[in-house]
Amino acid sequence: MDALPEPQAQPQGIDAEVTAVYLATLPSLERYTRSLTHDDELTADVCQEVFIKLLVAARAGQMPDSPSAWMHRVSHNLVVSAARRKSRTEISLEGLPEFDHTPSTEDAVLRRERERELEAALDRVRPFERQAMVLAAQGYRSDEIGDRLGRSALATRTLTCRARGRLRTELIAADAA
């Protein structure tokens, strides 16, 4: 004869307290989160993550003084973080090449010509300005670029901005010619 499954133990102690607080706040938390996301699935995910964060905090002895307000703030922060991740993902996807689209010969020639104009314009820019722009294009922050060039972060931002302006002027002049 098969053994009957054992009933699951009811949460006790701090887990029971956290569960009770969470369940009492859940309707309000769901309404608030749904008003921010307009997405039922994301709302459920955020609420579940809020519960886990509250449980972890309580088990660490850091139960908030006002759990309801704390849960709403955490929910807000999670929604903002999710929106940032989504935005970065969309920006990253826009930068990916479309492999199912082969550029026409004319487009390829125009792109190569534009690249040559850019290289020529970069050759006319002072070397330290070129280095600053290249590092910025590779994602380095102003303070990191400044360290390499022996400048402050503010001076580096100014240098980079002015160098980009000169480069833009050069490219516009090349387009006009």
Tokens in use for 36?
Answer: 């921010």
Nearest to 74, CA basis, from 48, 94, 111: 48
Work out the angle at residue 15's Cα, subtended by the Cα atoms of residues 33 and 9, and round it to the nearest 5 degrees: 115
Average pLDDT (110-130) is 88
Neighbours of 136 (CB within 10 A): 20
Give the C-alpha distances (Å, rounded to integers) separating 126 from 77, 130, 133. 44, 6, 11
Beta carbons of 149 and 99 less than 8 angstroms apart: no
* pLDDT tens profile 66-107: 999 999 999 999 999 888 888 777 766 666 666 666 778 998
Q: Check residue 98 and give its pLDDT.
A: 64
Q: Check residue 75 and give its pLDDT.
A: 95
Taking 90 as the threshold, does the pLDDT of residue 139 lie above it? no
Kindly tell me the burial class for residue 60, based on how many C-beta atoms sit within 10 Å of its own C-beta (0-12, 13-18, 19 or more). exposed
Domains parsed from the chain with CATH numbers? 14-94 (1.10.1740), 118-176 (1.10.10)
Task: Kindly indicate the confidence band of residue 1, based on its pLDDT and cuts at 50, 70 and 90.
Answer: very low
* pLDDT tens profile 31-61: 999 999 888 999 999 999 999 999 999 999 9
Q: Check residue 175 and give its pLDDT.
A: 78
Q: Check residue 69 and give its pLDDT.
A: 95
Taking the C-alpha atoms of residue 26 and residue 51, their distance in angstroms, rounded to an integer, is 9
For the chain, the average pLDDT equals 86
Q: What is the CA radius of gyration of the chain?
A: 28
> In what helix (H) or strand (E) does residue 116 lie, and over which residues does it extend?
helix 105-124
Under 8 Å CB-to-CB from 124, ≥6 apart: which residues? 170
DSSP conformation class of 139: T
Amino acid at residue number 112: R
Beta carbons of 76 and 36 less than 8 angstroms apart: yes
